[in-house]
Amino acid sequence: MSQLQLETLPAPLPAAPCPAAPRRSRAARLVRPALVLLPLLLVGVWALVDRRTAYAGAARLASADPWWLLAALVFTCLTWVAAACVRQGALPERLPPGLLVASQFAAGAANQVLPAGLGAHAVTLRFLQRRGIALPRATASLALYSLVKPVARTLVLLVFLVAFPDVLRLGALVPDDRTLLLAAGGAALALTVAAVLLVTVRALRRPVLGFLRTALTDVRELHTRPGRVLALWGGAAATPLLQGSVIA
């Protein structure tokens, strides 16, 4: 190639710099420890604001029988084991027992902050997804867990009512007609709204139907495995018994 041709060639473009990997700022690294310590900070603030109640509770604990406190602690720890059994019984996949019990301890702690069990379900859903469980399977297991626990609790209560009929005065527990009417009206309204939404909103109908199919498939499979049935229903029945033992 002649000297003239070499001089007319365009100069090579400079290589594009490689994008540097994003570095987490110091503030971002401190967010998670701050969130972990936030509940402890809130407890400390509450103790300072309501010092009289905190002091009275500490005094009662200090004067209590340490062996009974130890027994209550043992039964409290067993409630986490029972909850872990129900969680495992509601899912076909096998979960690591130690991490599952630890997740239920964390779920119980979160449940003290958020109402209606939302904290426990949120922590458990996150744990199941980290274990590779798909979102429909995880949500189906949460729904089965939420359904089995009140059914098992009601059966345990009925057994105790039959065995000890004089323990509770049922007349004082039955709500009046107005309360029953309001509850029935609210339930009917909720079912009607849900039915209308499923019929009219196609984007909502498809995931709901998929969720129901997944849930029914898992329920049929779980109830063909005796180990899962024992964990699911046995753990759900043991939970109110353990909670009552803590109070006793």
pLDDT in tens, 102-130: 999 988 888 777 776 788 888 999 999 99
Lowest mean pLDDT among 13-17, 61-65, 94-98, 149-153: 13-17
Single out the residue of 81, 90, 80, 91 nearest to residue 133, CA to CA: 91
pLDDT at 13: 54
Average pLDDT score over residue span 162-186: 78
Q: pLDDT-derived band of residue 64, with 50, 70 and 90 as boundaries?
A: confident
More confident residue, 22 or 234: 234
pLDDT at 152: 93
pLDDT at 15: 53
Give 19-28 pLDDT, tens digit per residue: 554 556 677 7
